Structure 1
Amino acid sequence: MEIVITITYAILLLALFLTFIRLLIGPTLPDRVVALELIPSILVSLIGVYAINHNTSSFIDVSIVVALIAFLAAIGFARFLERGGPRDD
């Protein structure tokens, strides 16, 4: 079981690293927005794996809060762009 958890952590951290690269060098604003929305999803996954690994159910509540905050941030960012925020594409 420990090997599976370690592999899962490695894959999620690699995905997080690649997402940060896309966020930094994304050629267009939609690329950066998708990367910005993917980061909280990966963090929720990491928190979930941590909760499973340490058998702590309270971290599931933390992951739900992170997901809700990410959803609200997505709505706020979409409204900002809808009202004519800065664009580079």
Structure 2
Amino acid sequence: MFAIAMAVSLVFLSVSILVGLYRIIIGPSMPDRVIALDAIGINLIAMVAVLSVTFRTSAYLEIILLMGIIAFIGTVAFSKYIERGIIIESRRGD
């Protein structure tokens, strides 16, 4: 029963990732695409967590942490690019 629940959750997470990919491709604006990309990152983290529970190992916990950090940094960088048009600011004339 537990294995069936884990398989069903993986299927739902996969469908959610496909919906996010649709939003990235068809999204009407850049903020919609950034939010969809962040949602895909969260769903990937959840999929790795479900696989970790399914395989009964803690070996994937570091991967979950790294994926979370990379997804957060990517979202912040895209948001800053949308807001200002640049990601890295240079200080000239200080």
Tell me the TM-score normalized by structure 1: 0.89
Retained in 1: the 8 A contact 2:24–2:36?
yes
- Consecutive unaligned residues of structure 1, counting only runs of 5 or more, are none
By how many angstroms is 1:12 displaced?
0.4
| Superposition misfits of 4+ residues, deviation over 4 angstroms | none
CA distance in 2 between counterparts of 1:31 and 1:81 reads 11
Percent identical among aligned pairs is: 28
By how many angstroms is 1:65 displaced?
0.5
Letter in 1 for 2:51: Y
Q: Considering fraction of residues, name the structure with more helix.
A: 1
Tell me the TM-score normalized by structure 2: 0.84
Letter in 2 for 1:26: G
- Consecutive unaligned residues of structure 2, counting only runs of 5 or more, are 87-94
- Aligned-residue Cα RMSD (Å) equals 1.1
CA distance in 2 between counterparts of 1:43 and 1:59 reads 12
CA distance in 2 between counterparts of 1:65 and 1:19 reads 21
Name the structure 2 match of 1:15.
16
CA distance in 2 between counterparts of 1:82 and 1:31 reads 14
Larger radius of gyration between Structure 1 and Structure 2:
2
Letter in 2 for 1:62: I
- Is residue 2:46 matched to residue 1:40? no
